Amino acid sequence: MTSSAPPWHGVIVATALPMQDDLSVDFDAYATHVRWLADNGCHGVAPNGSLGEYPTLTPAERRRVVEVAVEAAPEGFTVMRGVGAYGALESRRCAEEAAEAGAQVLMALPPNSIPANFAEGSSPLSQAIWLYGDDEHQLVELVRHDGGETHIRVIPVARLRQSKEGRISWTDQAWGSGFPLRLFEDPNLAVPDASGRAAWLSAWHSEREWFQTIHRCRYSNGVIGVTEHLLPPSQALPANAGMNPLLQKFELRRRQLVQADFHIFATDHWNFNVRNFNPGGNHGSFLRISTHSVWMMAGPSVPRGRHIREPYDSLNFASTLLACAGKQAPMPDRVVDVKR
């Protein structure tokens, strides 16, 4: 029996999507929720709208949400899939998937554009960096500054392109192996116990949080290092009150002349240095083997046999040495407690 009512009628619910403790989708609970809405007088559901969890789902999860809604829906109950996306081809793909799943109607809201805030937080983006592996394995790294602290988000995408009008579009991808920096498949990725790898990697984190999580990975300095390497010269060169303004302007111009917009890395062991005396080339890498050193200390204020496994950087090194020598450290929050 076919219903004569138009598919868009009555009460169509923008459904909540139940999640498991590991932040994966609880499809069984979602099916139960759809049936409950139908049993209690609603006329349909609208999965994959423009708000809520939709932007964080993988393409496979979005497709499965619609399939589960259709499977759980009784006869005459509408499933209206949202197909809003950042490009027409992506919207078309979503619409075709909806038709294959059996959805009766579509909801084509205008996409949430990629604004300065990327729809999260209160601070504007300061950088957006594209890491290309191949057409299907690319990353978009977003950087913003909140109250003096840098936060970074990394998004897996495919087929990123720019139109002649300057609009950027891409196809969302699920985290998996083969993306630049090889983070997802690295056995030494230390995500917090309560988080899944994909969920953690896709969220905003401070530089320190990235540092703690990936410092044992093969590309231990990849996320933060890319950000620093492509930092605009005006941000890379700190203000120096004691420097002659003309020399300050000269140094800024010198850095601008070697500022890169695009890098091709043909080998793991490349050189770079953006902050120091030789911008554009010096030493270093994103590899763990090139960025990690063993810090050893001995002296009256250092206990014998103390072994610290938590990662630190050069700012911790200088501040800690000054503190051990009884001097005032200019960055007290960077002093490592070697005595505990």
Q: Is beta strand 137-146 parallel, antiparallel or unpaired with respect to 149-162?
A: antiparallel
CB neighbourhood size of 43 (10 A): 17
Q: Residue 118 — pLDDT band, cuts 50, 70, 90? A: very low
The pLDDT assigned to 113 comes to 47
pLDDT, tens digit (0-9, with 9 covering 90-100), for 288-299: 656 667 778 777
> Rounded to whole angstroms, how far apart are CA atoms 132 and 259?
19
The pLDDT assigned to 53 comes to 74
- In Å, what is the CA distance from 12 to each residue of 8, 43, 64, 260? 8, 6, 19, 51
Which pTM was predicted? 0.55
The pLDDT assigned to 7 comes to 66
Mean pLDDT (the chain, rounded): 78
Mean pLDDT, residues 51-58: 72
pLDDT, tens digit (0-9, with 9 covering 90-100), for 243-281: 787 887 887 787 777 776 666 665 565 555 445 554 444
Identify the burial level of 46 via C-beta atoms within 10 angstroms of its C-beta, where 0-12 means exposed, 13-18 middle and 19 or more buried.
Answer: buried
The pLDDT assigned to 40 comes to 93
Residue 29: is its pLDDT beyond 90? yes
Mean pLDDT, residues 18-28: 88
Q: Residue 111 — pLDDT band, cuts 50, 70, 90? A: low
Residue 24: is its pLDDT beyond 80? yes
- In Å, what is the CA distance from 325 to each residue of 201, 333, 334? 39, 16, 15
Residue scoring higher pLDDT (220 or 147): 220
> Rounded to whole angstroms, how far apart are CA atoms 266 and 268?
7
Residue 48: is its pLDDT beyond 70? yes
The pLDDT assigned to 265 comes to 62
Residue 52: is its pLDDT beyond 90? no
High-pLDDT (> 70) share of the chain, %: 75
Residue 187: is its pLDDT beyond 80? yes
Q: Set out the domains of the chain in order of their start, with CATH numbers.
A: 12-107 (3.20.20.70), 125-230 (no CATH), 293-334 (no CATH)
Residue 88: is its pLDDT beyond 80? no
